[in-house]
Structure 1
């Protein structure tokens, strides 16, 4: 039996081919691994390099701001609604509430004035030349009435304004929180004129509460019915400002003589029309007073002729 010797060259060749194939397969596997590693590395780099998205956080933040803004708008709308309601309520006319005590005070102040405190003076002339007497009350009588009926009354001078040689005083009287004003006038060139303006303002403010209102009402009705005649042109301030401006002895003599002929008391007449004494007159006021007395003297003479 013949023994076949192994083909050593063939076996060696097969082994070489096997090693080559294994080596090639290993290289392919290594190449695939390197490629995979490279792709993973690039993916990681891309992820790392990519900007972090804030979409979710921004959306959450935006929603929070919108909620806060909506809340603020709701609060503003509610406040505006309340304010509109308050304005509407304030705009509605509300009838003033007059305390009963004040009504009672007004009723008492409107009562007729005691005849003992009413004074009379020559006031004005109608178109026929008839002289009408005027009834009035002094400022201190008005103050006494207020003290008796409204003890807590208050008085204040609100304004003093000079207009030419005249002064206008605005006085206010307050009773139980209700204030009413009056305006009085007088000469601005003497203290007496300013006091007169204040006293007249006080009385006119008191008339608006009802004090002595019937006196003014009667006078107004008569003037409206009879009409007034042109008034004598007396200076607004009859008082002399200096010795050089004082009435002269000659003027005083004429004044007294004319007053006797007219049958009037010279001092009473001077107080009635000029609110001062004859020896306090300025020369200009004395001349006007002389003209006034001449008119009275002529009227008296005409009356005597008609009587005869």
Structure 2
């Protein structure tokens, strides 16, 4: 009897030690993933034009760079495509990345008319899931900080929360036709009323939104809408 109790006690100690080790390992992995990306791996693209017509560039890294960082820092990482949603000529892909049992997701969008558009959606989703583990987070933060200083962006970076002032202040900053179409398409697919969703989240109507706020609403709708085409679940 005593031997059995001793064995159980030793097993409990081993389990507790293993759990503590896993927590420490994951914390160490996060610290490594959150380090600044090598400047040689950073690329630039045109982001938007400010009110003076000057081109603002955005720093970013390629999806395969993200995969290389994960391979080097967290060799046991895994990813899966959880959902694919189609909204007219747009496709939204949800990708999940799992590291040491912790799963985080990202959403990417692209055009359904070409294979490149579908790949773009998956690659963007992978990068956005990776950002939630800390990879290249400083680049995204820099992009948001730069965006907040402008008034007329042509392209809207991903926003993780609703802007404090969602209403457009100038005509050039108003929600685009493409954004309106996507919002209405998503809502139609899931039997939602666009203006009601907008009022509930940002206390204004859809056609009053700024481009930045419209992008936030689209991300919100994609994240909360029921999936149309389930692929497979992570874990």
| Map of 1:184 onto structure 2 | 108
Aligned-pair CA distance for 1:234? 10
2:218 pairs with 1:218? no
Q: Hey, what does 1:128 align to over in structure 2?
A: 52
How many residues get paired? 141
Unaligned 5+ residue runs, structure 1?
A: 1-96, 237-308
Distance, in Å, in 1 between the alignment partners of 2:74 and 2:144 is 27
* 1:76-132 deviations in Å (ceiling 9; x for gaps): xxxxxxxxxxxxxxxxxxxxx881111110000000001111001111112222210
Q: Which residue of 2 aligns with 1:204?
A: 128
Matched, 1:145 2:69: yes
Return the TM-score normalized by structure 1: 0.43
Contact 2:66 2:127 in 1 (8 A): yes
**Could you tell me how far apart the structure 1 residues matched to 2:153 and 2:23 are?**
45
Q: Distance in 2 between matches of 1:213 and 1:132?
A: 19
Counterpart in the other structure of 2:40: 116
Q: 1:169 aligns with which of 81, 90, 93?
A: 93
1:158 is aligned, of 58, 71, 82, to: 82
CA distance in 2, matches of 1:208, 1:235: 27
Which ranges of structure 2 fall in alignment gaps of 5 or more residues? 1-19, 156-171, 180-235
Which has the larger share of helix?
1
1:112-155 per-residue CA deviation (whole Å, 9 max, x = no partner) reads 00111100111111222221011110000000000000000001
Q: How does 1:4-23 map to 2 (within 5 A)?
A: none
Larger strand fraction of residues: 2
Query: What is the CA–CA distance in structure 1 between the aligned matches of 2:66 and 2:154, rounded to whole Å?
Result: 31
- CA RMSD in angstroms, aligned pairs only: 2.3
Question: Which of the pair has the greater relative contact order for Cα pairs under 8 Å at 6+ separation?
Answer: 2
